[in-house]
Amino acid sequence: MQKISSMTVLAGLTYSEIEKFITGIGEPEFRAKQLHQWLYKKPVADFEHMTDLSKNFRQKLKDIAVIQSSKIVQKLTGKDGTIRYLIEYPDGKRVETVLMSYDNRPNLTACLSTQIGCAVGCTFCATARQKFIRNLTAREIIEQIITIQRDTGKMVTNIVFMGQGEPLLNYDETTKAIKIINTELEIGMRRITVSTCGIVPNIYKLTELNRQLILAVSLHAPNHELRRKIMPVENKYPLDELIESLKFFIKTTGRRITIEYTLIDGINDTPAHAGELNNLLTDLKYNINLIPFNAIEGCDFKRPSIQKINRFKEILEQASKKITVRLEKGSDVSAACGQLAGKIIN
């Protein structure tokens, strides 16, 4: 059990760990169920609001435990309702977690970070500029959901691992967090998306581990030469190997994959690129999310015109009907794809 300055951190504990904690402090077992509910299902800001716990028990909890170890250092709400939280862990390191909601849909989607910084080095991504700082633990990942739920008083319904870091380079802690999300928060595996830039061996590993998760792949280029220019990971795990691993995922799970493709003006957005992408994906079952490039500091890339985006989409539609241009969520608060950099926004 994780302790911070002798205080037990409750976030991330499984039901049986909460039971152990409760009996360890001399409380009856039924308290475990109550505490588990408050922690994961009935989001409240602090122990004071856990109204069916006795006053004495609440005081005892305040003396020996904390709900989470991290705190919010900045919260910004975008025009479209997207909320960008900047969270700080006890070692002073910070990451973003983003809450997205969509009109007409009750779903609340949390975009989680799995690492502080990232070693992968994609040229269009603000996180890459921080370089890799450290992995997050499963508990620290869960704390991002607890932060959102305590702050909004609402339950998160969907998870996307698309925040800072490459989830499959922090495989053990990410998969441990997924298990907690599924068993303790009871969010179904089919509501959890793991997004990877293409860490091929761990795509096989994840497929063997769980056949229900949604797999999203950041492709961003339709051929080896271009991809290695904008995504250094291509040097280690080239496209042909990546495509083989995706075929394995589709064959094993019977499910579609999601292809993420950031459109960058004059780099990967021509009709020829779209045609090449169709050919590359011929044998796969897929949806494509087109993401018009979101501006980041110190990067010369630009977003293509709406005409170019539409032309690209039309060509893709000749091969598949499931093409979406991702709604631009949170770009006014630097919470959109590729913009997360762990910084206070002024």
Amino acid identity, position 269: D
Q: What is the rounded distance in angstroms from the CA atom of residue 234 to the CA atom of residue 241? A: 10
Beta bridge partners of 287: 258
Phi, psi of 192 (to 5 degrees): -120, 125
Contacting range for ligand SF4; rule: CB under 6 A; set: 66-74, 114-122, 204-212, 248-256: 114-122
DSSP SS3 for 112: coil
Q: What is the rounded distance in angstroms from the CA atom of residue 190 to the CA atom of residue 193? A: 8
DSSP SS3 for 195: strand
Decide whether 121 or 275 has the Cβ nearer to ligand SF4: 121
Q: Where are the alpha helices (DSSP H) in 153-199?
A: 171-183
Beta bridge partners of 115: 135
Catalytic residue flag (residue 125): no
Measured torsion, CA atoms of residues 167, 169, 253, 277, in degrees rounded to the nearest 10: 90
Q: Which of residues 213-242 bind ligand SF4 (CB under 6 A)?
A: 218
Buried b (16+ CB within 10 A) or exposed e, 246-282: beebbeebebbbbbbbbbbeebbbeeebbbbbbebbe
Q: Is 125 in the site for ligand SF4 (CB under 6 A)?
A: yes
Shortest distance in whole angstroms from residue 266 CB to ligand SF4:
20
Phi, psi of 204 (to 5 degrees): -60, -45
Q: Which residue in 27, 96, 184, 260 is the catalytic one?
A: 96
Shortest distance in whole angstroms from residue 264 CB to ligand SF4:
13
Shortest distance in whole angstroms from residue 222 CB to ligand SF4:
17
Amino acid identity, position 287: N
Q: How many residues bind ligand SF4 (CB under 6 A)?
A: 12
Q: Is 156 in the site for ligand SF4 (CB under 6 A)?
A: no
Decide whether 78 or 165 has the Cβ nearer to ligand SF4: 165
Shortest distance in whole angstroms from residue 98 CB to ligand SF4:
13
**Residues 161-190, mask of contacts with ligand SF4 (x by CB under 6 A):** ---xxx------------------------
DSSP SS3 for 127: helix
Decide whether 164 or 193 has the Cβ nearer to ligand SF4: 164
Decide whether 43 or 330 has the Cβ nearer to ligand SF4: 330
Catalytic residue flag (residue 96): yes
- Going from the C-alpha of 98 to that of each of 52, 71, 101, 252, 262, the distances in angstroms are 31, 15, 10, 31, 19
Q: Which two tokens stand for residue 159?
A: 């998870």
Q: In the set 50, 83, 108, 118, which binds ligand SF4 (CB under 6 A)?
A: 118
Decide whether 165 or 330 has the Cβ nearer to ligand SF4: 165
Q: Is 335 in the site for ligand SF4 (CB under 6 A)?
A: no
How many other β-carbons are positioned within 10 Å of the β-carbon of residue 10? 25
Q: In the set 18, 32, 197, 200, which binds ligand SF4 (CB under 6 A)?
A: 197
Decide whether 70 or 114 has the Cβ nearer to ligand SF4: 114
So which residues are the catalytic ones? Answer: 96, 337
Which stretches of the chain bind ligand SF4, using CB under 6 A? 118, 120-122, 125, 127-128, 164-166, 197, 218
